[in-house]
Structure 1
Amino acid sequence: MPNKLHIVNGDAFGDKLRVSGIDGDILVWRESLYEGPIGMQMSDSVLLSIRAAYMNLQHGIPEELFKSITLQQEKAMDRLAEDIDEIVLWFEHDLYDQLMLCYLLSRLFALPNPSLKLSLLSINQFPGVEFFHGLGQLNVDQITQLHDKWLPVNEDQLLLACKVWTAYSASEPLLMATLLEEDLSALPFLQKALQANSERYPSSQNGLSANQQLILELIGEEEMPILSLFKRVSQTASHYGLGDLQFWAIVDSIRKCEIPLVRLAGGDKLPVYGEPLPPHFEEWRLQRSDTGKLVHAGEQDHIYLNGMNDWIGGVHLLGKKGLWRRNAATTGFLKM
Structure 2
Amino acid sequence: MSQRPVTSTTDGRLNLEQQRKRAKELLPRLKIQDPSATLSQAQWQVARQLGFSSWPKLKAHVDALDFAAGHPDFHASDEARTTHWRCGNDIAHSLQLAGFKDQFRMLADPLCMGPVRDLPKEDFRALRSAFISQAFALNPADAARRIADEYAQLESLATAEHSVLWCEADAYDQLFLIRALAGLEQLPKKLELIEVDRIPGVERFIGIGQLAPDVLAWLWPQRRLINEHAVQLAKQAWAAYCDSSPVTLAKLAHGKHPALPFLAPALLRLLQELPGIRDGLSLTERLALTYIAEVGPVPFGRVYAELMARREPLPFLGDMMFHAVLRPLIDGEQPLLTESQADRDWPQRVLALTPLGHAVLNGRAYWLDHASQERWLGGVCLKPRQPHWAMDDRHQPVRRD
Taking structure 1 as the reference length, the TM-score comes to 0.88
The DSSP-based 3-state class of the residue aligned with 1:87 is: strand
Q: Which fold has the larger relative contact order, with Cα–Cα distance below 8 Å and residues 6 or more apart in sequence?
A: 1
The DSSP-based 3-state class of the residue aligned with 1:77 is: helix
Aligned match of 2:301: 227
Deviation at 1:52, TM superposition (A): 2.1
2-side partners of 1:319 and 1:288: how far apart? Answer: 20
Tell me, yes or no, if the aligned pair for 1:3 and 1:85 is still in contact at 8 Å.
yes
Matching of residue 131 in structure 1 with residue 204 in structure 2: yes
Change over 3 Å in CA distance of 1:10–1:167 after alignment to 2? same
The DSSP-based 3-state class of the residue aligned with 2:303 is: helix
Structure 1, unaligned runs of 5 or more: 270-276
After superposition, the CA RMSD in angstroms is 2.1
The DSSP-based 3-state class of the residue aligned with 1:19 is: helix
- Choose from 8, 11, 14 the match for 2:92: 14
- Choose from 256, 260, 269 the match for 2:335: 260
Tell me, yes or no, if the aligned pair for 2:181 and 2:234 is still in contact at 8 Å.
yes
- Choose from 183, 195, 214 the match for 2:256: 183
Change over 3 Å in CA distance of 1:17–1:40 after alignment to 2? farther
Matching of residue 239 in structure 1 with residue 239 in structure 2: no
Report which of the two structures shows the higher radius of gyration computed on alpha carbons: 2
Q: AA paired with 2:356?
A: T
1-side partners of 2:213 and 2:256: how far apart? Answer: 36
Give percent identity, aligned residues only: 26
What is the number of residues matched between the two proteins?
A: 321
Deviation at 1:327, TM superposition (A): 2.2
- Choose from 353, 374, 377 the match for 1:288: 353
Matching of residue 92 in structure 1 with residue 168 in structure 2: yes
Q: AA paired with 1:14?
A: A
Structure 2, unaligned runs of 5 or more: 1-78
2-side partners of 1:160 and 1:268: how far apart? Answer: 48
Aligned match of 1:326: 391
Q: AA paired with 1:101?
A: L
Alignment of 1:1-336 (within 5 A): 3-40=81-118, 44-82=121-159, 84-107=160-183, 109-111=184-186, 114=187, 116-220=189-293, 222-235=296-309, 236-237=311-312, 239-267=314-342, 277=345, 281-282=347-348, 284-336=349-401
2-side partners of 1:44 and 1:30: how far apart? Answer: 17
Change over 3 Å in CA distance of 1:2–1:51 after alignment to 2? closer
The DSSP-based 3-state class of the residue aligned with 1:122 is: strand
Deviation at 1:23, TM superposition (A): 4.8
Deviation at 1:211, TM superposition (A): 1.0
Deviation at 1:51, TM superposition (A): 2.5
Deviation at 1:74, TM superposition (A): 2.1
1-side partners of 2:395 and 2:171: how far apart? Answer: 21
Residues 168-208 of structure 1, C-alpha deviation per residue, up to 9 Å, x if partnerless?
01122122122224333332222221111111111111111
Tell me, yes or no, if the aligned pair for 2:389 and 2:397 is still in contact at 8 Å.
no
Aligned match of 1:272: none
1-side partners of 2:279 and 2:356: how far apart? Answer: 12
